[in-house]
């Protein structure tokens, strides 16, 4: 398979498949394709994996698109202004991502639920108690909100992140929360009560325009109903 990612900040990934090659997507992700791309709706792993995908923010069923009778093309556009990134998933290259980041992947990639080890980080860390884990083997495409910044964390190195800005991380990273120090800072600082704390080793992807933050800003300018 060959692909190109074009058009940021409203990106689309265009995939060119050889005959017989397939991609797995969430329902409704396809934007355009050639007529020989055949779709099949699948549970892709049975009830357990269906429920895991539902908990991680995805739909229970997935669609498989296969190039039939020769080369085919299929495109997936981002649902929000931001970035689409390609990840090569394999042993030791598992990725943990925000809910609803998954766009499409080769058939060897498995999407499952990721439970944060500490309950506190789930309730207060900004990404919810459950995130997505991508494992297996193959290429996967994820969509993030806004521009993406990347950092490498050494073993034991930490980064403090405001709520919602964590897009993805290597599965080798650990996640926890940290209370904003000082009562005055908590009440009047405008940064909320908690921050997400990541600890390396691993790679971190941060996004500059989390949807909840954008919605909160826009909501100030929307008149309330009488």
Q: What is the CATH number of the domain that holds 114?
A: 3.60.160.10
Q: Which residues pair with 144 in a beta bridge?
A: 83
Number of alpha helices (DSSP H) and beta strands (DSSP E) in the chain: 4, 19
Tell me what pLDDT residue 188 has: 45
**pLDDT block averages, 10 residues each, the chain of length 226:** 94 97 92 98 63 52 94 95 96 92 94 69 51 95 96 97 91 85 47 79 95 71 70
Tell me what pLDDT residue 142 has: 97
How many structural domains is the chain composed of?
Answer: 1
Instruction: Tell me the C-alpha distance between 210 and 171, whole Å.
Output: 21
Asked whether residue 226 is assigned to any structural domain, the reply reads: no
Domain span at 184: 2-219
Asked whether residue 141 is assigned to any structural domain, the reply reads: yes
| This prediction's pTM | 0.82
Asked whether residue 225 is assigned to any structural domain, the reply reads: no
Asked whether residue 179 is assigned to any structural domain, the reply reads: yes
Tell me what pLDDT residue 42 has: 87
DSSP assignment string, 3-44: EEEE-TTS-EEEEEEPTT-EEEEETT-EEEE-TTEEEEEE-S
Asked whether residue 142 is assigned to any structural domain, the reply reads: yes
Instruction: Tell me the C-alpha distance between 205 and 159, whole Å.
Output: 12
Asked whether residue 224 is assigned to any structural domain, the reply reads: no
DSSP β-ladder status, 62-67 and 95-97: unpaired
């Amino acid at each position: 398979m060959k692909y190109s990612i074009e058009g940021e900040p409203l990106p689309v990934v265009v995939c060119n498949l050889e005959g017989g090659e397939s991609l797995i997507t969430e329902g409704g992700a396809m934007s355009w394709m050639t007529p020989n791309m055949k779709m099949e709706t699948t549970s892709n792993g049975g009830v357990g994996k269906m429920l895991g995908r539902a908990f991680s923010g995805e739909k229970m069923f997935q669609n498989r698109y296969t190039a039939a009778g020769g080369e085919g093309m299929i495109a997936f556009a981002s649902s929000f202004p931001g970035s689409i990134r390609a990840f090569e998933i394999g042993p030791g290259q598992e990725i943990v991502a925000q809910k609803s980041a998954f766009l499409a992947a080769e058939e060897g990639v498995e999407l499952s639920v990721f439970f944060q080890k500490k309950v506190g980080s789930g309730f207060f860390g900004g990404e919810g108690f459950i995130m997505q884990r991508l494992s297996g083997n193959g290429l996967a495409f994820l969509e993030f909100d806004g521009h993406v910044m990347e950092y490498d964390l050494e073993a034991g190195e930490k980064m403090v992140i405001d709520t919602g800005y964590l897009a993805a991380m290597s599965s080798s990273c650990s996640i926890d929360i940290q209370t904003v120090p000082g009562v005055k800072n908590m009440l009047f600082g405008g940064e909320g009560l908690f921050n997400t704390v990541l600890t390396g080793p691993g790679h971190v992807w941060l996004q500059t325009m989390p949807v909840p933050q954008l919605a909160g800003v826009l909501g100030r300018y929307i008149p309330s109903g009488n």
